[in-house]
């Protein structure tokens, strides 16, 4: 393993490692206006949600590494204390990328990217009409993390109104992740499309799973079962009864299997989410 201390790397090199390793990251498509009312639009992938009550989003326009200058978004946020954070889906990813071009001050990135300005209800910055979810925000605080190139500036935004396109809602009124079709940022020129990479993991039981630590040693030390497999096996409230195990073994002819064969069969069952049957195989 190659190891570094940050002080031994150039800022550009460290920046590249961070962006590539901490990924994928959601994108804040931030709309602001300057003190003269000129619109500005720019994407930032140092972004996430941090609170629901109050509803807080934070994004960070970093100082430019190459020349230690600040971005128009930060300057606008400091002067107006308002921003709209629009989410980015696959339908607008190319336009979002185009808007990141460092146009001169006063140039309208909405126009350059071919996106539609939509008047907000509470704040002055415009929303991106093509974005499926838009958050109107007031800026509570800006925390400067440093004064050198690459230093972040945490813009702490409180959501005062949110807008969700009906086309991404399901019948219960919740957001359908596949319909939303978000994209995320990775290192270099790489992006990730969430829709094609979703998978579900059952949440730990509220009644407490037994845990990996109490699994039989032959299972914990298996050369077949992975850590993910063990996690699934540990997320059960109780092991199947001896009667259920014996009935399953007779029905599926598990009695003659070797230990390794049992582990492989259990792993296959786990890949389909059938944890109960996997346990019955392992304990037969």
The answer to whether residues 145 and 275 belong to one domain is no
User: What is the value of pTM for the model shown?
Assistant: 0.79
Rounded mean pLDDT, 218-226: 89
* Domain count within the chain: 2
Residue 261 — very low, low, confident or very high, per pLDDT cuts 50/70/90?
Answer: confident
- Does position 119 have pLDDT exceeding 90, yes or no? yes
pLDDT in the model for residue 241: 85
Question: At 207, is the pLDDT very low, low, confident or very high (cuts 50, 70, 90)?
Answer: low
Tens-place pLDDT, residues 175-206: 999 999 999 999 888 899 988 877 666 667 66
1 within domain boundaries: no
| 80 and 142 share one domain | yes
pLDDT over 70 (residue 162)? yes
Look up the domain containing 267 and give its range.
Answer: 212-283
Give domain status of residue 201, yes or no.
Answer: no
Q: What is the DSSP string of the chain?
A: -----GGGS-HHHHHHHHHHHS--B--EEEEEE-TT--EEEEEESSEEEEEETTEEEEE--PPPTTT----HHHHHHHHH-EEEEEP-BGGGHHHHHHHTS-PPTT--HHHHHT--EE--SSSSSPEETTSSEEEEEEEEEEEE--SSTT--EEEEEEEEEEEE-GGGB-TTSSB-HHHH-BEEE-STT-EEEGGGT----PPPPTT----GGGS-HHHHT-SSS-HHHHHHHHS-SSPPPHHHHHHHHHHHT-TT--HHHHHHHHHHHHHTT-HHHHHHHHH-
Q: What is the mean pLDDT of residues 224-230?
A: 88
Same domain, 82 and 222: no
pLDDT digits (tens, 9 = 90+) for 38-61: 999 999 999 999 999 999 999 999
């Amino acid at each position: 393993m190659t190891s570094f201390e940050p002080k031994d790397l150039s800022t550009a090199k460290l920046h590249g490692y961070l962006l590539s390793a901490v990924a994928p990251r959601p994108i804040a498509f931030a709309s602001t206006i300057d003190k003269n009312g000129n619109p500005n639009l720019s994407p930032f992938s140092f972004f996430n949600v941090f609170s629901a009550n109050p509803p807080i989003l934070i994004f960070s326009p970093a100082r430019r590494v190459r020349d230690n200058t600040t971005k128009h978004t930060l300057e606008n946020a400091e002067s107006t204390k308002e921003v709209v954070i629009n989410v980015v889906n696959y339908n607008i990813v190319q336009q979002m990328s185009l808007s990141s071009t460092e146009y001169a001050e006063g140039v309208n990135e909405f126009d350059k990217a071919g996106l539609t300005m939509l008047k907000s209800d509470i704040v002055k910055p415009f929303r991106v009409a093509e974005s499926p979810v838009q958050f109107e925000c007031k800026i509570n605080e800006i925390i400067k993390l440093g004064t050198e190139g690459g230093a972040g500036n945490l813009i702490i935004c409180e959501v005062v109104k949110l807008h969700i396109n009906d086309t991404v809602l399901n019948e219960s009124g919740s957001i359908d992740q596949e319909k939303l079709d978000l994209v995320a940022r990775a290192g270099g020129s790489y992006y990730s499309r969430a829709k094609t990479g979703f998978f579900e993991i059952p949440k730990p039981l509220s009644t407490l799973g037994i845990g990996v630590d109490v699994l039989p040693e032959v299972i914990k030390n298996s050369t077949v079962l992975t850590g993910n497999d063990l996690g699934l096996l540990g997320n059960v409230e109780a092991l199947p009864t001896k009667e259920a195990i014996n009935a399953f073994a007779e029905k599926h002819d598990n009695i003659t299997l070797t230990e390794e064969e049992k582990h492989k069969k259990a792993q296959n069952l786990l890949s389909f989410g059938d944890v109960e049957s996997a346990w019955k195989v392992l304990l037969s």
